[in-house]
Amino acid sequence: MTTSTAGARAGTKILEVADLSVSFVTESGNVSAVDHVTLDLAPGEIVGVVGESGCGKSVTAMSLAGLLPRSARVTGSVRLRGTELIGAPETSLRRVRGKEIAYIFQEPMTSLNPVLTVGRQIGEVLQVHERLSRKAVKARAIELLSLVGIPSAARRVDNYPHQLSGGMRQRVMIAMAVACNPTVLVADEPTTALDVTVQAGILEVLRDLRDRLGTSILIITHDLGVIADIADRVVVMYAGRVVERAPVTSLFARPQHQYTHGLLNASPTPGRHAGTDRLQEIPGLVPVLSKQPDACTFADRCPAASDTCRGSAPGLSALGSPDHLVACWHPVEAT
Ligand SMILES: Nc1ncnc2c1ncn2[C@@H]1O[C@H](COP(=O)(O)OP(=O)(O)OP(=O)(O)O)[C@@H](O)[C@H]1O
């Protein structure tokens, strides 16, 4: 676990997401994917978003810089340093992408171009936002490869993706993402395709970038080990909604939502290592969000559910510490 930076402690926010909702227009009607999600990120802070498959983590991440397909209907607010991005013109969003908010995804092999050297690919990113000479581009590419821990960067810069291991390719993706010094890095399952020791190295790179460049990082994961390893704060999502939001130590020590509690109980506990604490199955199925607008979406799987839970959806509120929020009618400490 990491400690919050001075910026995070000071309470200034670089990214503020409020009441973000996303639905998709499909042949079988509107599908709600994200429902009134609220989260924020301070300068130099690492926030983890965790939840089961299909709970809306990626859709939330993609909506930040307008990466969703046209079939998406997005409402709510995403403010980057106070500037609203929802509804912003495409030209403004293009400036934001890469330069302000950069992404790294799970599959480095499919994201990298197999016929271009990694140096050329980093160079292309650099030249979208900055005018540099060819020599300066190559020098910067080497610098970036060193920054993400690639040994012999001056030689590796001329390698093609297939000449690198999976972990090295993910490092190249990170180098491309941070090429323009983004304010916010969104890492969507950055270590999922990698084996455990390689994962630990990638998390180390992300932590190092935060420490050296002050980058704020939103990390999306299924893996509680990744959260425990790297995050300052955690957002737990379930069926499109945020069900709990807390500093990482507080969440692991005193989970308050019945869902979070179930996840942690089902997980092999402390001494967690990235890759070893994948979310375990909780009996039952994640519901289709649009079918339960006025209920707690976890009610059907919850051991503490009552008629209240089936009749109205709880909002996020603080029970004890003001920075530990939970959306539950029967939080764990009170049962
Ligand atoms: N383009 C789309 N059209 C229709 N529905 C979509 C689209 N993209 C995502 N969804 C739906 O939105 C919901 C949330 O998906 P999302 O990818 O955000 O989940 P996730 O938590 O990131 O899951 P995973 O961990 O498996 O990636 C899912 O029900 C998904 O099927």
Please report the pLDDT score of residue 333 as a whole number.
Answer: 73
pLDDT tens for each residue of 6-60: 444 445 899 999 999 999 988 888 889 999 999 999 999 999 999 988 899 999 9
Which residue ranges in the chain fall short of pLDDT 70?
1-11, 108-109, 267-293, 334-335
The residue contributing the CA closest to ligand 1 atom 7 is 24
Interface confidence: ipTM more than 0.85 = yes
Q: Using alpha carbons, select from 181, 224, 187, 193 the residue that is nearest to residue 206.
A: 187
Rounded CA gap, 139 and 196, in Å?
32
Sign of CA dihedral 149, 171, 102, 75: negative
Ligand 1 centre from 11 Cα, in Å? 31
Which whole-number Å values give the CA distances from 269 to 12, 57, 162, 263, 278, in the listed order?
33, 23, 37, 10, 11
Please report the pLDDT score of residue 271 as a whole number.
Answer: 40
Q: Is the pTM of this model over 0.95?
A: no
Ligand 1 centre from 55 Cα, in Å? 7
The number of beta carbons lying within 10 Å of the beta carbon of residue 323 is 12
Domains and CATH numbers, the chain: 6-100+184-334 (3.40.50.300), 107-181 (no CATH)
Please report the pLDDT score of residue 132 as a whole number.
Answer: 83
Ligand 1 centre from 136 Cα, in Å? 40
Please report the pLDDT score of residue 268 as a whole number.
Answer: 57
Q: Using alpha carbons, select from 239, 256, 182, 335 the residue that is nearest to residue 247.
A: 256
Containing 15, the helix (H) or strand (E) segment is: strand 15-26
Ligand 1 centre from 24 Cα, in Å? 10
The number of beta carbons lying within 10 Å of the beta carbon of residue 108 is 23
The residue contributing the CA closest to ligand 1 atom 12 is 33
Instruction: Give the DSSP letter string of 96-143.
Output: HBTTTEEEE-S-HHHHS-TTS-HHHHHHHHHHHH----HHHHHHHHHH
